[in-house]
Copies of this chain bind each other. A is one copy, B any other.
Amino acid sequence: MEHYKVGAIAEKVGVNVETLRYYEKIKIMPKPKRKESRYRFYDELDLRRLLFIKRAKELGFTLKEIKELLNLKIESTATCGDVKHLAEHKLTDIEERIKDLKNIKNVLIKLINQCVCEELSTDECPILEIIDPKT
């Protein structure tokens, strides 16, 4: 199994070393193993987790929400319903995000295609169509 010192994993993912310590403190990353030197050592699973956190943040999730996403797993029949409920809620949220991003995408495509330098309506912002597109 591959393993990384804090500086190596930080560089690989493109975050600051201090960020890793911070994530450990707020318990979004687990406490890594230590060598006799007391240095932190991370593995592939940590790497994937960190990559996920980074991307989810870019997608607009807070660290709190990301923590929830990462803790979604079915542990027993007892909690199964709760987890399912939470996951369904997240799913709805994500479907709405996708929908809205697709709207933005369409407006951008229109904007780019208009960009053949035709005459255009004065100073109207095409982006505003996103929220309330002209039918």
Contact = CB atoms under 8 A, between A and B. Distances in A.
Contacts of A80: 115, 117
A127 B86 CA distance: 13
A8 interface: no
Interface stretch (A20-28, A33-41, A103-111): A103-111
B131 A48 contact: yes
Given A59-B101, A69-B127, A105-B91, A111 B48 contact: no
A5 interface: no
Contact of A112 (B52, B61, B91, B95): B91
Contact of A123 (B73, B94, B130): B73
Nearest to A80: B117
A3 interface: no
Contact of A94 (B90, B108, B114): B108
A76 B84 CA distance: 52
Contact of A83 (B100, B102, B115): B115
Contacts of A87: 108, 111-112, 115
Interface of A: 45, 48-49, 51-52, 55-61, 69-75, 77, 80-81, 83-84, 87-88, 90-91, 94-95, 97-98, 100-102, 104-105, 108-109, 111-112, 114-115, 117, 120, 123-128, 130-132
